[in-house]
A and B are shown apart, each in its own frame.
Chain A
Amino acid sequence: GAVVSQHPSRVICKSGTSVKIECRSLDFQATTMFWYRQFPKQSLMLMATSNEGSKATYEQGVEKDKFLINHASLTLSTLTVTSAHPEDSSFYICSVAKTGGVGETQYFGPGTRLLVL
Chain B
Amino acid sequence: TQLLEQSPQFLSIQEGENLTVYCNSSSVFSSLQWYRQEPGEGPVLLVTVVTGGEVKKLKRLTFQFGDARKDSSLHITAAQPGDTGLYLCAGARDSSYKLIFGSGTRLLVRP
Interface residues of A (CB under 8 A from B): 1, 4, 6, 32, 34, 41-46, 49, 91, 93, 95, 97, 99, 101-111, 113
**Inter-chain contacts of A97 with B (CB < 8 A):** 97
Complex partner residue of B43 from A6, A45, A103, A108, CB under 8 angstroms:
A108
The CA-CA distance from A93 to B40 in the complex, in Å, is 10
Which chain B residues (86-111) contact chain A, with CB distance < 8 Å? 88, 90, 92, 95-99, 101-104, 106
A102 near B103 (CB under 8 angstroms)?
Answer: no
Closest B residue to A44 using CB positions:
B101
Closest A residue to B98 using CB positions:
A49
The CA-CA distance from A6 to B95 in the complex, in Å, is 25
Q: Which stretch in B14-22, B29-37, B73-81 binds the other chain? A: B29-37
The CA-CA distance from A1 to B43 in the complex, in Å, is 13
Closest B residue to A1 using CB positions:
B45
**Given the interface contacts A44-B101, A49-B98, A108-B42, does A103 sit within 8 Å of B30 by beta carbon?**
yes
**Inter-chain contacts of A49 with B (CB < 8 A):** 96, 98
Closest B residue to A111 using CB positions:
B42
Kindly state whether residue B44 has any CB partner on chain A within 8 Å.
yes
| A43-B102, A97-B97, A103-B50 given; 13 more Cβ-contact pairs under 8 Å | A43-B88, A46-B98, A91-B40, A95-B42, A101-B48, A102-B50, A104-B97, A107-B45, A108-B43, A108-B44, A110-B42, A111-B41, A111-B42
